[in-house]
Each structure stands twice: as structure tokens, then as C-alpha cells.
Structure 1
């Protein structure tokens, strides 16, 4: 069995072909999509977080609304850019959202990816400390977030408070038990995947990875996952590790599917550059008849290594069509791979 969820980038634009013309459209349809996805048996509803763009940004109001409308589906992010975050305030937001959802949050965090503006986190009032890079700052904030999620008191109480305090140092409230064990790290390199394992975070590996060997994307990603699992074992964590990979997969079941995605049926990995000279490899998309997809996906080493598959969806095409895509995967592809 493999958990299957969707990952939405939450785009909107005033485009005649889009079902999401405004931010309100995207937010409300995201809730509707998560509810519908739960009803067809999907395991997860995950959302990208981008700032300064016509895409989803502040995740916790959305996650809370979905948590209140659903009862079983995992709800998460992929990923929150920690360079933009106040870790303590985020503990409070995340705790409230997790309690509303009944302990179903699966939060993906990371040091972030290239953004719409230069050093956007500076506009949020954050600067790397002396000797730090912005990536260092993101990892430092992530560790502080993890630490405060433990619910251990650290703040000196006021001797004359407005309301009586419990004894000892105070923790942040509301405290969500178990959330510390449901934090994922979005890793684009082998080294950061190992770092995530050492710090007890689950692993999110997307359709982009730094090219560290020149091998095909799925092979490099599978190697990254195995390094992560080995590091997790060596760290001695008492719970089992979890790993998700993201893929764009489109079963071609009708003429509309073929119009939208038929041109992707011979997709291949792509090479590009991030942040000047960093060579990155982008994983291929999959599109085809169900029998063809089953054969191709069975050869994807990274999917085989992961326990969770996040299907990236074209949210701009609306709830009904995206449920059609997701249902097609569950009904026509997943059983042939032993996932259902």
C-alpha cells in the first residue's frame, strides 16, 4: 500500500481558460477539492507556499478550514519557506490548525526555493545572522520551530500576570501533541536529506533535485531516499521514517485528457540552473493510457522507495476536472501497481 495525495500550487489569474480567476476562487476551491478528495479515498491534501505571487501563501487559515471540513485526510504543505517565518508564531498557528484538524497536519518545511523577488524574506523583516547564508537562516529557524513544538516550557512567567500561570516556565499555546513528529523537510540535495533524518524530520523530495551525479532523475532521487533512510536508522529514532515524492501523472481516459496532456506522453527529464551556477535536474511528467503508465511508473525507482506519492495537479482547471484526474489514478493506475 502507498499513500496517495495531491499537491496544489494554488495558481490564479484572470484568464478565460482558468476556473480560478481570483485568490478567493483558489482558496474556496482548495477547500472543496480537499473535501472531494477525501470522499474518493485520497490520503492527502498538500499545498505549495509562495510569497509575492498569485499563488497560495499563508497556509494556516486554509489548512484550518480544510481540517474543519474533513475528518480523515492528511493535510499538509510542500513546503513552507522558513526564511520568511517567525518560528514561535508559527508554532502557535500550526498548533491551532492541528487541533482543529484532530492531529492530521503533515507540515512540509524547508529553506525555500528561488522566489519572485530578490531576498523576499528581507521585506518580512528577517536578516541572516553574522556569518550565515539565507539557507543557514532557514535551517536555523526550522530547528527552533522543531524545538518549540516539543511543548517544553522556556519563557519566564510574569510574577503579576493578568491570569494565573501554571508552575514553572511557560510554553507556547495551544500545544498540539504529536505535531513535532509530523514535520517534513523538503530536500533538494543528498546532504540536506541526511540532515533531515538526523533531526527527526520526514523527507519530502519533489520533482526537482540538484544534479549530483548526472544519472536520471528518479535514480538520483532513489539514492537520496536510501541515504535518508540509512541516516534515520543510524540516528536511532524510535518511529519509522516517511518519505514522499511528487510527480505529475495524467491518465489519458478521454479526449479532453488527450487535448490537455497528450503532448506530455514522451516527456523526459530536464536540466536547468538555479541561483546562478547550481545545476538542477527536473523530473519528467507522466501521461498516457493506464496500462502504459503502470509499466512506466513501475520503473521509477524513487516512487518505489517512497511510502507517499503526491500528485501535482493543475488547480486552474477546477475541482471537477482535478477529481477526474485523481479518480483516474486511484481506479485505473494504482491497483495495477499494488498501491490499492
Structure 2
């Protein structure tokens, strides 16, 4: 007997990608239900070689559902996740709402999937698991094998984040501004605070009192929660005119000596990572190559001579996949593989 999966927010960028990946990975589901708001009811979505119709979240009967994968924003997650969790449904949430709750695990399976054992053993757990911010997910996948090898003290990360991280409105704005510039139309900002076409914007999410943006704070807080609270983290998050794929330049300071060759070997052996690191023109990964891929790509592995025991790396990943949809499905797969769901698929 397989599992029954509800995809909440199925019509959004991430929700559609969840459906794609469930089909691609042949997730052991007897039924997959697409849910969204009433205005999307009846809309048809692709699921593998089938078409499924969207159902109304507000009046759907969740009886018998095993997994609820939520990609509908913080307000929906705040309202629905506790109710679904109380029904015994395992909620895997893509929003930021639950990430910082001390009793909700924040999971990247390649990094801290084993912590699910203790969580699922709790007698009064909420049955909510949080998915990290898209930039954090790819970052910690790359950091984990290096932290295990030489223990990270401090990281400085600059992110170069695609417009799909801002949803469909962000993608549409880049597309429309780019077309408009070629016919001498004005590139009027809407979703973003400044023109995004042929520009970069050092501002994602709202500004906080200390001058960091909320997006930058997320990388700080989530890296500590997932990987190690002792690591010092500083971040600058930049929106770039790329449709899909986030990139990061990461300077890492370690407690113990580590060479670029040792780092390269450790990364090559780690799950979920592809190393493309030739010191020649084109010998590195860019967002274009990562689109549609499951792995996080690591390139430009070199020594940072400004600190003792320092390295610099370049990290690229499909933000709609590893940064969101793929990671949620990997969490569900991890629960099944570790026999934590109380029943097995046929």
C-alpha cells in the first residue's frame, strides 16, 4: 500500500515543480492531490504522463492523507499546518513560518536527515517539518563535508539569486522589462524595488534594524540551526537578472588546516554534490547548467590567503528544485527510508 500525498499551493512555481519531481522520482504514492485556493479549482496540471485537476483547499477532506507538502506561503502554513499535523498528517512546509520554531526540525536530508529519528520518537510532536530558505539549502549541502573534515569557524557568503525566488511575479517582471528595453519602453519596477533587467539589486526581503535584510538573516539563522550553532555567518543577498538558479560565493575559515585538494575530494564523495572545478575558461558551473538538475554544483575551489585555514568556493543550484521542491520530497523519502512513517509502501 502506497502513500497519499496532498500538494498545497500546487499552481505556484514550487508547487508545479513538486508535482514534476514526485513523478520523476517515482515517489511511492497511490494518490497525489493538487490543492490550491478556490480561484484555481478545476485547473488542470501535469503530473507525469497524466493530468490532474486542482481541488479547493478550503473544503478538501484530508482523511487518509499521509503527507502534506505545503508551498502556499506563510499565512496558509500558519493556519493549516497545525490542523493537519494534529490529524497525524506529516506536514513538510516550504514557507518561512515554521523554520525558527525550536520544536520544529529544519531539514536538509544530506546534512541533518538523521535528526528526524529523534523528532519522530517524540510523543507530542507537531508533525511539522520545515524546509529551509533556497539559498541556505544549497549552501549547507556544500558546507557539510567540509565542516566534517576541518570544522568551520566562520563563513562570508554573497548570494546571486534568480528572480524565480520571488515567484511568478518576479519572472514576469524580468521578462517584460527585458523585452521592453529592446523597444525603448521604460523598465518600471513593480515586484522589485529597482529595475532588475540588466541590473543587480543588493536587496531581498525587508530591511532589519541592524542593516541586514530578512533574506540575509535567514541564511545566518538557518545555517546555524541546520549545521552548527557555533559557526559565525555573514551574508549579502543580491537579486540578479537570471530566471532560475541561485549562485553563491563563499569564503570559509576553518579551525583546522584543509587544502583545496582535500576539500575537492571530500565534496566529490558527498551526497547531492557535483564538483566541476577545472582552472580554465568554462571549467565551472553556472545557473544555466544547473536548471533541472538535482545536485548542488561546487566550483572554483581555492585557498583564501587572507585568513589562516581558509578556502573559497562557488556554489550553484536550481533554487526551485534543491532550494524548494526537491528538498521537501527528499524529506518525505528520508522518513520512509528510515521507517519513520509507521507503514511501508508496497
TM-score (structure 1 length as normaliser): 0.30
TM-score (structure 2 length as normaliser): 0.29
The structure with the largest strand share of the pair is 2
The structure with the largest helix share of the pair is 1
